[in-house]
């Protein structure tokens, strides 16, 4: 049973700092792409089993859930960490850099996994709570529409492992290490993908009058798309339309038959999301027609808006203040990135917490070849999860 005033402190984890650093760097050296986190999942399952957890592997593919029940408490808590890496060739030059060509932990999931494992070990050793903890190690957060959260939920995650609330944590470059940051309500944007195929009539580059050039039509579409947010979305609301890819043609002296564009579309409100789909679709088709071409629009709705519930966010913030002090805890603005943890928050109340990964000009950015997770966060992050579990299940 939990003793009042005896919750976990960061100092309780500092003795295991070297072990956590070694574990994090070992995971960093062996990055695995989404849905193929076989070694990472085995490592996680092995550690949890050794510490006395009931371990269920293969949840939603390569997902792992470790369950620990203590005392007679009826409440249950879920804490999630993501495990997958990105298809980026690492350029850090670190002695523990990726050994898997073309793959690296460029988003800090190696750190997220390690912090939760550090918490798992301490929770199992101290058992300073009464109830059930489900530690959710999720694959494929970076996989887009076919993401790990959706697969785990489809595999009955919350039916098999009931949770009264669920929490997760992500690092935040640009904020000082060992600091915590919170935002209640809509926090991270919905993320939709649009593939546009512009079809014309190919021909000889010397005789463009005999062709319908899809490159010119696509160029007009790219420019016209810049007006969608600027002239259709209420300026007091947030939306992003980015043309991320454009492909067409194979030779300079040939007018191609078609060009494809890839768009990333972000929003926070259902009506804005619907507006963006309608305007992008209509604009693309009319622009193509203006050049004599046609356009096919494949509009795929991706992750929903991530919404942190008010009560659980207030609780998570309270735990952080207790752990590191109020001067190390701040509010944070909404983020136009997206997160598949949003699917879990659609089914259970909870909160995605941000932990600073380092500030200043030298702080590495997420999804870049020179990124590295800040090991100064490992003990404080692990202690945070322990204390949150102890407080939630007090």
How confident is the model over 126-163, as pLDDT tens digits? 999 999 999 999 999 999 999 999 999 999 999 999 99
Q: What are phi and psi of 52, to 5 degrees?
A: 95, 15
Quick one: tokens of 352? 């995605």
Per the domain annotation, does 6 fall within a domain? no
Per the domain annotation, does 39 fall within a domain? yes
b or e along 106-131 (b: 16 or more beta carbons within 10 Å of the residue's beta carbon)?
bbbbbbbbbbbbbbbbbbbeebbbbb
CATH at 229 = 3.30.70.360
Per the domain annotation, does 5 fall within a domain? no
Residue where a domain stops, chosen among 300, 322, 357: 300
CA distance 69 to 269: 39
244 pLDDT higher than 90 = yes
The count of residues in the chain is 394
Domain of 385 in residue numbering reads as 11-188+305-392
**Is residue 296 domain-shared with residue 372, that is, in the same domain?**
no
As a whole number, mean pLDDT of residues 105-112 equals 98
The per-residue pLDDT of the chain, averaged, comes to 97
**Is residue 108 domain-shared with residue 38, that is, in the same domain?**
yes
Per the domain annotation, does 45 fall within a domain? yes
User: Which residues are 333's β-sheet partners?
Assistant: none
End-to-end Cα, the chain, rounded Å: 7
What does the CA dihedral 335, 338, 340, 341 come to, rounded to 10 degrees? Answer: 0
Residues 6+ apart with CB under 8 A from 124: 51, 52, 53, 68
**Is residue 239 domain-shared with residue 388, that is, in the same domain?**
no
CATH at 81 = 3.40.630.10
Identify the pLDDT of residue 5. Answer: 59
For strands 254-255 and 203-204, give the pairing: antiparallel
Which helix (H) or strand (E) covers residue 255, if one does?
strand 254-255
**Is residue 233 domain-shared with residue 212, that is, in the same domain?**
yes
Q: What are phi and psi of 190, to 5 degrees?
A: -65, 150
Residue where a domain stops, chosen among 300, 315, 334: 300
Per the domain annotation, does 4 fall within a domain? no
Whole-prediction pTM? 0.94
Quick one: tokens of 38? 């076989």
pLDDT in tens, 261-296: 999 999 999 999 999 999 999 999 999 999 999 999
Identify the pLDDT of residue 361. Answer: 78
pLDDT-derived band at 362, boundaries 50, 70, 90: confident
Quick one: tokens of 164? 């009264």
**Is residue 284 domain-shared with residue 357, that is, in the same domain?**
no
Domain tally for the chain?
2
Give the angle 66-67-69 at the CA atoms, nearest 5°.
155
**Is residue 32 domain-shared with residue 133, that is, in the same domain?**
yes
**Is residue 279 domain-shared with residue 334, that is, in the same domain?**
no
pLDDT in tens, 89-103: 999 999 999 999 999
For strands 165-172 and 350-356, give the pairing: parallel
Residues 6+ apart with CB under 8 A from 367: 86, 88, 106, 107
As a whole number, mean pLDDT of residues 247-265 equals 98
């Amino acid at each position: 049973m939990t003793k009042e005033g005896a919750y976990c402190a960061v100092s309780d984890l500092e003795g295991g700092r070297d072990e956590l650093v070694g574990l994090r760097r070992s995971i960093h050296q062996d990055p695995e792409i989404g849905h193929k986190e076989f070694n990472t999942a085995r490592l996680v399952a092995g550690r949890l089993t050794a510490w006395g957890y009931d371990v269920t592997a293969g949840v939603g593919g390569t997902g792992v859930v470790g369950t620990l029940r203590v005392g007679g408490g009826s409440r249950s808590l879920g804490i999630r960490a993501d495990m997958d890496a990105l298809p980026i060739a690492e350029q850090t030059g670190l002695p523990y850099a990726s050994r898997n060509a073309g793959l690296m932990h460029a988003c800090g999931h190696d750190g997220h996994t390690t912090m939760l494992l550090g918490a798992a070990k301490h929770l199992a050793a101290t058992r300073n709570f009464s109830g059930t903890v489900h530690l959710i190690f999720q694959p494929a957060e970076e996989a887009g529409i076919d993401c790990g959260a959706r697969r785990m939920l489809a595999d009955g995650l919350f039916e098999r492992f009931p949770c009264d609330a669920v929490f997760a944590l992500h690092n935040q470059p640009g904020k000082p290490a060992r600091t915590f940051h919170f935002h209640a309500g809509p926090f991270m944007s919905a993320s939709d993908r649009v593939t546009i195929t512009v079809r014309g009539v190919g021909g000889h580059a010397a005789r463009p009058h005999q062709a319908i050039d899809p490159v010119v039509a696509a160029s007009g579409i790219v420019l016209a798309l810049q007006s969608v947010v600027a002239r259709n979305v209420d300026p007091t609301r947030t939306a992003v339309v980015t043309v991320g890819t454009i492909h067409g043609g194979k030779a300079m002296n040939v007018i191609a038959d078609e060009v494809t564009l890839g768009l990333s579309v972000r929003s926070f409100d259902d009506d804005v999301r619907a507006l963006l789909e309608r305007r992008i679709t209509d604009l693309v088709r009319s622009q193509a027609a203006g050049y004599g071409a046609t356009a096919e629009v494949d509009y795929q709705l991706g992750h929903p808006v991530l919404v942190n519930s008010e009560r659980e966010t207030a609780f998570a913030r309270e735990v952080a203040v207790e752990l590191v002090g109020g001067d190390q805890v701040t509010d944070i603005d909404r983020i136009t990135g997206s997160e598949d943890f949003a699917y879990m928050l659609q089914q259970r109340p909870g909160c995605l917490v941000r932990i600073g990964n380092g500030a200043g000009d030298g702080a590495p950015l997420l999804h870049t070849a020179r990124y590295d997770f800040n090991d100064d966060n490992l003990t404080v992050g692990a202690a945070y999860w322990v204390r949150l579990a102890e407080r939630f299940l007090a």
